[in-house]
Structure 1
Amino acid sequence: MRRFGADYLTETRRGMWEDSREALADLRLRDADGVLDVGCGTGELTAVLREECPGRVVGLDRDPDLLAHARRDGPVVRGDARSLPFPDDAFDVVVCQALLVNLPDPTGVVREFARVARERVAAIEPDNAAVTVESSVDAEAALARRARERYLEGAATDVALGANARETFETAGLGDVRSRRYDHERVVEPPYADREVEAATRKASGADLRERRATMAGSEEDLDALRESWRDMGREVVRQVRDEAYERREVVPFHVVVGSVDDT
């Protein structure tokens, strides 16, 4: 199971569900007395669930450092998604976001969710193979695609699982499985936030690829060449940021999959 820091989770989930929550409709949160958010991390989805659900919402994560950053307007519990510390039928809904893509046995984890759920199991999972990038820096989109291909090839888990999450639910024995797509759009444009200026600097130094190198496929020569091109691109990003001319749009497609435990 891969581990992520609080800053990474906060940044990648920033702005999710701010504009529309229609894709969450099949969770029927308004009808739920109890919801468990598994792998809640720093609590971004947990907060949304608490806004939408009139009942009790519990966040769970195995990482105590992440739980320390979770929003404290409700209960959080330390535990493992593969063996939830709850009895059968403890919650109406059990849900996760961007968790199954990081696990070697997502089907087994969904079965564990179904054990604890009385009514519904849900997963909000990205299709990392379908991410798109548009940028005012000509080289950035192509380099982002090359880096993503290396990442997809080198990943130890199915990081594009979102597109096939429905099949995972059906294999796990869930019934009446439904799926909706939600596109998480991240836009960078002037005036820039401090985190966006820092991200530009990291591109120019190649820090992004250096930190991800262990999970990327390819020869040392290929990865060195990619990083050098990435740094050249990053220097142009920094120049455009200084001129307040840099713009970037990234779209990460998520699939919201919901299944019923009634038929299991």
Structure 2
Amino acid sequence: MREFSAEYLRRTREGMWVDSREALSALGLDEREQVLDVGCGTGELSRVLDAETPDDCSVIGCDADLDLLTTASEYVPVVAGDALRLPVSDGSFDLVVCQALLINLPEPSAAVAEFSRVSSDLIAAIEPDNGAVTVESTVDAESALADRARRAYLDGVNTNVALGAATRDAFEAADVEVVATARYDHDRSVTPPYDESALRSAKRKASGEGLADDRETLLAGALTPDEYDDLRSAWREMGRTVVDQIGDRTYRRTETVPFHVTVGRVDA
């Protein structure tokens, strides 16, 4: 399973449910008593679950990364554990949920089966379709380059990071009945005034640092070293234009990531 820093998870997950929580309606959060957030990371979803459940409901965050749990523990009680071997007893939660976890596992259905072991009622997975991400930008080249880099990354990564609606297949493979699905489009926008995250991202584009970090994955697919070098050169040129537009306060960018919420019921 890939590892992520606390800063990365905060940056990618913060604001996830600020504009709407309608896609979580099938989880029946107002009726829950015991909720387990598996792969909770730094606790962004845990905070939402804690806010949307009754005051006497216990929301527990679970992650294998102790450093991430340190941050999550500021919001909810936490427990260290692997998604495939949860350190809790059978049927001890009435909702087990994860967000952007199954896309990082080689066998998502194995985790779903483990979720169903520890749930007495519902399990839910909120998984992105990274193959359907769209980017709109005031920098003409950015959308096409982002798509090109994304396709190469998807070709080289060793898990299904475009799981999305296919999460249903993982539930069915684990013999869990799917009772509801919903799609939620999460928009991440960059507009003036620019925060530190936007400025840091622009600098990474201009230096090509982001693509360099993913070089091994990008080259694991069909992308050749020469094609990678061409992509990185074009990416850096695009990044310099981003930096220029930020300096002029004219840069705007919206990335839309579709998430699919899949809910299953555990047989009594």
- Please indicate the TM-score interval, normalised by the length of the shorter structure: over 0.9
C-alpha displacement of 1:187: 0.5
RMSD of the TM alignment (CA)?
Answer: 0.9
Tell me, what secondary structure is at the counterpart of 2:42? coil
Q: Do the aligned partners of 1:170 and 1:177 also contact (CA within 8 Å) in 2?
A: no
Name the aligned partner's letter for residue 70 of structure 2.
Answer: A
Aligned residue number for residue 149 of structure 1:
151
| TM value normalised by structure 1 | 0.98
| Deviation >6 Å, runs of 4+ | none
Name which of 228, 252, 259 aligns with 1:254.
259
Aligned residue number for residue 26 of structure 1:
26
Q: Do the aligned partners of 1:61 and 1:77 also contact (CA within 8 Å) in 2?
A: yes
How many residues are aligned here?
263
Name which of 115, 118, 129 aligns with 1:116.
118
Distance 2:216 2:265 in 1: 38
C-alpha displacement of 1:71: 4.7
| TM value normalised by structure 2 | 0.96
Aligned residue number for residue 93 of structure 1:
95
**Residue deviations 1:4-30, cap 9 Å, x none?**
111111111121110110000111111
Task: Give runs of aligned pairs for residues 1-264 of structure 1, distance below 5 A.
Answer: 1-54=1-54, 55-216=57-218, 217=221, 218-262=223-267
Name the aligned partner's letter for residue 51 of structure 2.
Answer: E
**Residue deviations 1:24-51, cap 9 Å, x none?**
0111111110000000000000000000
Question: Percentage identity across aligned positions?
Answer: 56
Q: Do the aligned partners of 1:169 and 1:177 also contact (CA within 8 Å) in 2?
A: no
C-alpha displacement of 1:73: 3.1
Tell me, what secondary structure is at the counterpart of 2:89? coil
**Residue deviations 1:104-156, cap 9 Å, x none?**
01001100000000000000000000000000000000000000000110010
Distance 1:122 1:138 in 2: 38
C-alpha displacement of 1:177: 2.9
Q: Which structure 1 segments of 5+ residues have no match? A: none
Name the aligned partner's letter for residue 13 of structure 2.
Answer: R
